[in-house]
Structure 1
Amino acid sequence: MLLNYLLQTIVLVTIGVILANIFIEAKILSKLTPLVKPICKRSNLSEACIFALFTSLLSPTASKSALATFYNRGDITESEVIVTTLMSTFPMVVGGSLFKVQALITIMILGPIVGSIYITLNFFAAFIQTFWAFVYSKIAFPPCSTSVDDDYQVDKLLLTFDTIKSGLKAAYLVLMRIIPVLTVTVLVIGYLLDHGMMDMIAHLFDPVLGLLGIPGECAAALAGQFIHYTVGYAVIGSLLSEGIITEKDAVMTLLIGSMIVITLIYIKFSASMYISLFGKLGVKVALINYASSMLAKVITIGLVLWLM
């Protein structure tokens, strides 16, 4: 599984870096100006950041790779990188749920009521992360000046053999720095998780279950989350059908399970990717994004306790 993920990630990172560099050389971003300009004005983010946001809807890995390319070229700042990765949370979750049919799988396993509630809460948690990143960018960044004025005239598209060659050459230099770091980091962290780190993570969430009064039977669902999210869903679905837990218990367990999954993803995968793409900045990006995800989940759990 780890090697499959590593191979998939290398492929997606390679595609993202290559496309970003070719787009830059061919001035394709200028062709998107009529589409991204309104969002740039409202968020104060640059066109490059908005392009990465759009890309995250289809491929988070390719989006981060493109963002790293713009950052390493000096087109965007550290603050813009952090805000853009936070703001991409909602389109990333929506894209993953719809385009990868996770939403359909969730409803089929958990049932229409619990499945729909859980999907909605996931969207809510993702939205508030995007929202506070948007508010921060609106306050902290100066008004965005796009590359064209209101009567825009886009640059001529320069998608030629020479621009593709230049883009590939620039991408190669970037990938020679990124891929080795990504490979080593993923393999090292994967080894640590397979030799005790996973148990330490699980124990961190034990007090949360007791504090929220969630039945002990739900621990099996949380354990299933370590294997695959569908395993956890199947356990919850079984407990619901047998009347052992309530819908509220199911939703709360799923939210706590998602916190465990997020923790594992950041330790095993996301941190490695951020560090390989952004260097030292990647540590800060990973920590801020992880803290944002956990805070959003806590807020969501509080909402469930209040309403259900």
Structure 2
Amino acid sequence: MANDAAAKPLGVVSTNTMSTKKPGDAPKKREKMPKTVTKVLKNHAKLANGRPPTATKPQASLSHKKTRDQIRLHHVLSKQLAAAEAKGDDAEADELKKRIEDLGGLKSYQLASLQGQAKDRGGDSSTVLMEWLKPLAAQMAKREQKIRLLEVGALSTANACSKSGLFDIERIDLYSQAEGILQQDFMERPLPDSDKSQFDIISLSLVLNFVPDPEGRGQMLRRTCQFLNKHARRAFGEELQAVYPALFLVLPAPCIVNARYINEERLTTMMSTLGYVMLERKLTANLVYYLWQLRDKPRKDFQDFPKKQVNPGAGRNNFCVVLK
């Protein structure tokens, strides 16, 4: 991060020379610099006075726009691929797979996601979760057995949750980017066979929106219920019981606030059908964060949520979650 304090100049090189002007010579007009040169020099001066010299060149990184565009393009191509495979169009599917590979495949997407999660981009969505859990931190720290967290789509082992020391974390991702992250598809993870293999909280941060089809997104939300331990809360204190077991869900804001087939009311009703209650919500310009507590089993009179237009109008996106 740039230092706001002005750095003192290390030295000044004099540009004065002995005058060669003869008596009676008319004073020369000062030659104007081109505007572009003047602008560059002014900007250089501002930079010199605004930050200290660095010993190493800053690491090259994708611009914010390029990162966002790269992630969005992966999403679009993945959706098109899923549609082509669903209708059995092998030629189109092969062409889309080639385009995805030309972009660098899933590895390229994950690197773009890592770039987007960097601190200088305002990333690491788990900082929001830690803000919400701050009132419980003292109680969580006292526990002999740490709160068990399953982080789906983990990109780093050094995010806010990891640094807190409050969790026993299991991290999984389709394409592991670091040691300590198991390469695994959450949808293919074996179902827990005991309370010990369940979790107190699951993180789905910018994961649901990457599932290529609406039915798959619904299945993912339903599947989280099977991995959360509803029995362990009996051993929790009253305050912890009011939060756990929980699901931390993060989505791009347009998926909820500007989608044709889903809005927050519909999402809340869906989650209620699964047994979830919303505890926390935060909306920013780019993201929407939720903390849901799983309080009940999925309702027996389960309501289907097909693809249905709930927010008509031009300029809406087609993000959708189908729950059956």
Q: Which TM-score applies when normalising by structure 2?
A: 0.24
Q: Which TM-score applies when normalising by structure 1?
A: 0.25
**Greater helix percent: which structure?**
1
